[in-house]
Structure 1
Amino acid sequence: MKLLTFALAAFLAGPALAGEPISPRFNADPSPHVFRSGYYLYATDDASNSGTYWDSTTWRLYTSKDFKTWKDGGAFLGVSVFSWARPDAKAWAPDAAYRNGKYYFYAPVGGDKIGVAVADRPEGPFKDAIGAPLVDKARDANTGAEPIDPQVLIDDDGQAYMVFGCREPKIVKLGKDMVSLAGPIEDLVVTGLPSDDPKKKFGEAPFIHKRQGLYYFSFSTGWPGQIVYATSKSPMGPYAYRGVILDYRTISTNHQAIIEAEGRTWLFYHDNLLPGGGDHRRSIAIEPLRYGADGAIEEVRPKPKP
């Protein structure tokens, strides 16, 4: 497969871009990871959707050795990897994890199921890990309206957690095999959301990261939505609302991921950044993320598009 290389520009102090798209191809819903062989970014493929809805049936992979230049690895996986999925099932925001010498890919399929695929390498080839959905709205209790946007955190003690959900945030423990549930699906509670702002509520894009013993739960507040966050001393919560990470973008969705790389913290997000872009043709970008002395996240303010 021919690889496209898109050189990143507008660098800050450190090897990452500021508000520039990582690729000339439309992409969205970033899932970045630091694996032993480099940096890997899994994404939904907006360039292959209809242009009027988020109806792509494949996921795309981008890789980097230096956090500056990202190579397009193509559509490395499609919903067809899951024999139980409808051929036209929508391939929405995924996540990945490494454990037990294997790479696990967690994928919302069709808006009502979450599948898990496994591979020996981060770029695949992946295969269906269990031959059935990991989470199924028709089968499992308390999945919420739409079990989408899975994200996995492996804690310091080895326990893995998966958060997911649309309009209702959910959390569940994963088994040590990473392909089974190790308990019931539970509601993830966020307290202290501003009662005077009806838009401050959970919409989608749940994400948990940990820093200095504190768990940070970030999410989008809706359509359009801000990326806001809350913190807890426990991964299961409850979480207390703290503030805004990223304000409304110029499109109807907002979706984030936060990782440590190159000695600092980075926020991945998507926006309308390429010619012809819009609500259904989005582009992933990266910005540095900073914390205050009290652990509060400083709001990220990307430079406005010219």
Structure 2
Amino acid sequence: MLRNLFTLRRPALLLALPTLLAACQSQPAQQQAATGAAAPGAKADSTGKKYLAQPLVRDIYTADPSAHVFNGKIYIYPSHDFEAGVPENDNGDHFAMRDYHVLSLDSIGGKVTDHGVALDTKDIPWAGRQLWAPDVAFKNGTYYLYFPLKDKQDVFRIGVATSPSPTGPFKAEAAPIAGSFSIDPAVFADTDGKTYMYFGGLWGGQLQRWVTGKYNAAAPDKKPDGNGPAVGARVAVLSPDMKHFAGPVKEITILDSLGKPLLASDSKHRFFEGGWLHKYQGKYYFSYSTGDTHLLVYAVGTSPYGPFTYKGVIMKPVEGWTTHHSIIEFKGKWYIFYHDTQLSGKTWLRNVKVTELKRNPDGSIVTITP
């Protein structure tokens, strides 16, 4: 785009310059760089100055990365951001994603491959709008893609699509999972063979509309506040066929250091969205975003159902409003995948990154300052 400037006469150049510059800033663009990954974490350049982990891909916008290791390789299932032209608002209508791409890499710092569209809204029978953060699980020779999507009544439900390949394409079931609601599904397979789904998100994620167990369309689209108990994420065990809930949906309780449930007003500690579960040395680590305070934090428990006791901050605020992550172990090290807005500077046009996750001898996580 910029080289087009030099073909314009000066009057035309002055008139066209704002439009041309805006176009350059709003596109991830192949002009910026080829798809590829940089080594994780802060490094030093030739002057010794520090710089941050770099976007894993630059030719499309990606966010909410759910990373997994399948067959010795890392696969990433992100949201696919794009400029939909929807006005920005508190409900997140401008996050108008409509398909998913799958990314893969053989090593941290190695080449990232974009496998193209794995699932599109037009191929989901019950679709309304907004394909938000997904996750994937593998069982019985099949890959299961779990995705939040507003149905035709504009209520977020969680659907499932299947494929024999980790890269898709995925075929969606005819209806969402019965009893599912809200956003941000994250699936955890325990060592006993049971598989759990964690989900939920406040505000635009509609979780506050389900506090009674039934959908309340009249509930305001805002985060709960006050001295009442915080609204917790939800968890349900999945059926052997991975397409249904095999038990009741339960609310997760997060406790403070004194063993008391966190309050709704405790915005630096309570759950907001983007839950993830991993297991380390026999303990369950439930990590999540605090939303409007922009932290990634974690709590630890002895059961996949909780309760979990708050332990600390994993990552301080990134550039951009939202924060969303996943955590995996790969070749003896732990890594956190996350996103920020380095490429665009816009909260709805994000880019995924990865950096190493380090722990203290007692298992506590070392805070990352991006």
TM-score between the two structures when normalised by the length of structure 1: 0.87
- Structure ranking higher on relative contact order (CA contacts 8 Å, 6+ apart): 1
Q: Distance in 2 between matches of 1:11 and 1:200?
A: 27
Q: Distance in 2 between matches of 1:215 and 1:287?
A: 21
Which string of whole-angstrom CA distances, capped at 9 and with x for unpartnered residues, describes residues 176-229 of structure 1? 111111101000111117779543221100110011110000000113420000
Q: Distance in 2 between matches of 1:37 and 1:258?
A: 16
Query: In the alignment, does 2:106 pair up with 1:70?
Result: no
Moved runs in structure 1, 4+ residues, more than 6 A? Answer: 193-196
Q: Distance in 1 between matches of 2:284 and 2:85?
A: 38
Query: Which residue identity is paired with 1:63?
Result: S
1:241 to partner: Cα distance: 0.3
Equivalent pair of 1:30/1:270 in contact (CA under 8 Å): yes
**Higher helix proportion:** 2
From 277, 294, 298, the counterpart of 1:229: 298
* Farther-moved stretch of structure 1 (90-99 vs 160-169): 160-169
Classify 1:186/1:12 alpha carbon distance in 2 versus 1 (closer, same or farther; 3 Å).
closer
List aligned pairs for 1:78-227, cutoff 5 A: 78-86=120-128, 89-110=129-150, 112-129=156-173, 131-135=174-178, 140=179, 147-167=182-202, 168-192=232-256, 197-227=266-296
**Higher strand proportion:** 1
Equivalent pair of 1:245/1:298 in contact (CA under 8 Å): yes
Q: Distance in 2 between matches of 1:214 and 1:233?
A: 5
How many aligned positions are there? 285
Query: In the alignment, does 2:53 pair up with 1:19?
Result: yes
1:264 to partner: Cα distance: 0.2
Q: Tell me, which stretches of 5 or more residues in structure 2 are unaligned?
A: 1-29, 43-50, 89-93, 203-231
Larger Rg, first or second structure (1 or 2)? 2
Which residue is 1:292 aligned to? 360
Which residue is 1:44 aligned to? 79
Query: Which residue identity is paired with 2:254?
Result: V
TM-score between the two structures when normalised by the length of structure 2: 0.72
Classify 1:194/1:299 alpha carbon distance in 2 versus 1 (closer, same or farther; 3 Å).
farther
SS at match of 2:145: strand
1:65 to partner: Cα distance: 2.1
Aligned Cα RMSD in Å? 2.3
